[in-house]
Structure formats: C-alpha cells, structure tokens
Amino acid sequence: MRYLAFFLSVALILSASCSVKNQDQNQEVKRFLSKEASAALEKLKTLDGRFLVAHQDATSYGVKWNYSDSTQGCDIFDVCGDYPAVYGFDIGHIELDHPANLDSVDFNLMNRLIREAHMRGGLITISWHLDNPVSGGHAWDTARAVAKILPGGEYHNKYVSWVAKAAAFLKGLKDDRGELIPVFFRPFHEMSGGWFWWGTGHRTPGEYKKLWKETVRLLYGVHGLNNLIFVYSTDKVGNEEQYLACYPGDDWVDMIGLDFYDRSGTLEGYTEPLKTSLAMLEKVGAAHGKPFALTETGYETIPDPEWWTGRLLPAMQGSGAAWVLLWRNDRPTHHYAPYPGHPSSPDFIKFFNAPETLFGREWAALNP
Ligand code: BMA
C-alpha cells in the first residue's frame, strides 16, 4: 500500500510537469508557410544583386487623385509606365470595425486592390497602425498597453478580438483559385523608437517579444493564416544589439527589415549611414537565415531632383536588400514618390532604368 501511494505521487508529479511542458510547447508554434508564401520568400533570395521597388498605397490614391473619388491611378505608373513590384497597405482601424483604414482607404477597395496587384504579379506587404487597445487613442498614443494585452492581462480578450478582426480581413485575400495570397505582414514596426504604444519606453523587450509570439500564435495557430510571412522591422538603430533587442527568435520571424528615412538630403546624413545599416542587416540576415528589405524610406516631398540616383540608388546598390518601400503619396506636403510634373520625375526614370531596380513587369517576368 505504501509503495502504491509512493508510485501514485510520483506519477502525479510527472504528469504535472508534463502538462507544464505541454503548455510551453503550445507557445512554440511550429509554423509551415503555404506553398505560395514559401515560394515568394524563396524567390527573394535569388535576386542576384537586384532589388524590388515598392510603394505604400500605390493604387489607392496619389497626390492629385483618390480612388474613392472615382479616379484611378498610380503615381509611379504615371511617371515611369510601370507599377511597383511590391505594394504596401495598412490595416489600421480594421480592429475598430471601421469601413476604411486610418488613411481613409475603404477595406473592400483594399481587398480588390490587393487581389489586382497579386494578379499583376506584385508582392503584398501589410503594416498595422492599430489603435491603443487600452486608452482607445491612436497608434501614437503611448499610454502603457502591451503588458495589459498579453495573456493574463486585463485587456487580453480585447486584443484577441482585434486580431480576429484582422484575421477575417486577411482571410479574404484570395487569388482566383481560392488560395490565400502571400502577405509580408509587418506588425508592431519601428519598435526601436518611442512614438508607438508598442515602442521603446512603453514596454520591456520581453513584453514586446511575448506580444509578437502571441500575435503569431493567434494568426497562424488559431486562425490558420499560413500565407503570412512575418517581417520584423525596426527604425534606425546604432548597432546589431539594438537591432535585435526585441527580436522574438528565428521561429517567429521570416524576414527582417529596417525603416530609415532621409531627413537631411545629404550623403553623410542618409546614404552613408543607410549603407552601413544595410550591411548590418545583411550580416544579421545571414546569421539568422532571413532575407531583408528596406521596409520604409523616402525624403518627404523629394526636394532634391536627383535624389533617386544621387542618394537612394547608391545606398541600395550591392546591399543585398530584397526591396525598398517608398512611403505613401498623400498630399502636396506629404509624399515620397514622384507624380507627373514632379521635379524629380526625370531622375526617377533613370532609377527605373537602372539595371538593379525591378518594377512590376520585370518582376512578373521573373515569375512566369
Ligand atoms: C505615417 C503618416 C500618417 C499615416 C500613417 C499610417 O507615416 O503617413 O499620415 O496615417 O503613416 O499610414
């Protein structure tokens, strides 16, 4: 009898430790990308010194037109006769059930523009400027929120429901055969800066990593979105250690990126430090087996008419970056790509013709 009690208690201890272990293992979601998503990711590793050109909201609106006023267009197309190879979108405010995103792009229209871009052979990247789930303010409201939305936190259920709304939109992105379109998903970007509620100073690096893993667990594990290629991207950082401060681990990230804007128009203030940063990304990417991209850049209003070949191209040449994404063309005082009549248009055409740049048609031709 004494022996039986001993064996029973040993069995109990063992089963308790197993279930703890199992819980941990549940955290470690083993991901398998869809055939289409892994092909898109693999293709980026074969660019051979060339890079794709991307534009945020390329077909949603431009400086002088807006799809929702029933005008259609694409500023980049109107300047060089071709679409970008990568199209950026943002799903901020999907979490609020709003009909349009934070920049007034209707979500039904966005769905259509994404499917059209994919049919043209373009790649899709999506960021998410989601509101602060605790304060109800926008993404730039830095009231502490991350710890409260993690599992066990007071606002966790609210965050779970927000991810479900994002997942419902993402599930609607299907091609003609009904397959999910690969999406380079870039949540919680620029976390190295302090301007977003998920940024530095508003959570610990450990909390950021937990939020990232929880988000992947929900989107992949719960909602089954195996078309999402997760992209980790910081803002400007001083070194590799700062770059990796919030990196959640190789199992949770598929690609890495950097957001790096030009605020000086000079070689010393932009091109040279950007080159150094891209070299750092290449090293990190090689060590972790991830391709990398310049996930946001631009010189607001492009005041330098030779910026494309004078500042951006020399930073990208030989960098190994898969793409460069120019931020959105919103209005005369806030745009990052040229439009017809813009003083930098002739230089943009030279950039378009440079052997290293891949726009829509050339990229599509590489993916027959
Ligand atoms: C910022 C600005 C904002 C915009 C936000 C999300 O960089 O362009 O005007 O709302 O991105 O797209």
Query: Is position 267 within any domain?
Result: yes
Closest CA to 161 of 186, 131, 141: 131
Percentage above 90 pLDDT, the chain: 90
Percentage above 70 pLDDT, the chain: 92
Query: Is position 16 within any domain?
Result: no
Nearest protein CA to atom 8 of ligand 1, as residue: 328
What is the mean predicted confidence (pLDDT) over 206-234? 98
Query: Is position 316 within any domain?
Result: yes
Provide the pLDDT for residue 291. 98
User: Is residue 95 in contact with ligand 1, taking CB distance under 6 Å?
Assistant: no
pLDDT band of 23, cuts 50, 70, 90: very low
**What is the whole-number distance in angstroms between the Cα of residue 159 and the centre of ligand 1?**
22
User: Is residue 129 in contact with ligand 1, taking CB distance under 6 Å?
Assistant: yes
Provide the pLDDT for residue 72. 80
What is the mean predicted confidence (pLDDT) over 163-169? 98
pLDDT in tens, 44-63: 999 999 999 999 999 999 99
Tokens of 154: 């007071």
What is the mean predicted confidence (pLDDT) over 333-352? 98
Report the atom number in ligand 1 closest to the C-alpha of 57: 12
User: Is residue 328 in contact with ligand 1, taking CB distance under 6 Å?
Assistant: yes
- CATH number of residue 195's parent domain: 3.20.20.80
Provide the pLDDT for residue 17. 33
Provide the pLDDT for residue 368. 75
* pLDDT beyond 50 at 341: yes
Pocket test for ligand 1, best of 328, 329, 330 (most atoms within 8 A of CB): 328
User: Is residue 103 in contact with ligand 1, taking CB distance under 6 Å?
Assistant: yes
* pLDDT beyond 80 at 16: no
Provide the pLDDT for residue 28. 63
Average pLDDT of the chain? Answer: 93
pLDDT band of 42, cuts 50, 70, 90: very high
Closest CA to 186 of 160, 212, 167, 206: 212
Structural element, H or E, at residue 325: strand 323-326
Helix (H/G/I), strand (E/B), else coil: 211? helix
pLDDT band of 68, cuts 50, 70, 90: confident
Query: Is position 21 within any domain?
Result: no
Query: Is position 22 within any domain?
Result: no
**What is the whole-number distance in angstroms between the Cα of residue 9 and the centre of ligand 1?**
59
- Give CA–CA dist 188/185, Å, rounded: 10
- Give CA–CA dist 341/187, Å, rounded: 35
Query: Is position 149 within any domain?
Result: yes
Query: Is position 38 within any domain?
Result: no
pLDDT band of 95, cuts 50, 70, 90: very high
User: Is residue 90 in contact with ligand 1, taking CB distance under 6 Å?
Assistant: yes
pLDDT in tens, 265-281: 999 999 999 999 999 99
What is the mean predicted confidence (pLDDT) over 122-132? 99
Give the number of domains in the chain: 1
What is the mean predicted confidence (pLDDT) over 10-39? 59
Provide the pLDDT for residue 131. 99
**What is the whole-number distance in angstroms between the Cα of residue 265 and the centre of ligand 1?**
21
Closest CA to 120 of 175, 48, 45: 175
Report the atom number in ligand 1 closest to the C-alpha of 102: 10
**What is the whole-number distance in angstroms between the Cα of residue 84 and the centre of ligand 1?**
20
**What is the whole-number distance in angstroms between the Cα of residue 334 and the centre of ligand 1?**
9
pLDDT band of 367, cuts 50, 70, 90: confident
What is the mean predicted confidence (pLDDT) over 211-215? 98
Query: Is position 14 within any domain?
Result: no
pLDDT band of 18, cuts 50, 70, 90: very low
Contact 150, 211 (CB under 8 A): yes
Structural domain of residue 170, as residue ranges?
43-365
Report the atom number in ligand 1 closest to the C-alpha of 56: 12
For residue 288, the number of C-alpha atoms closer than 13 Å in the C-beta half-sphere is 24
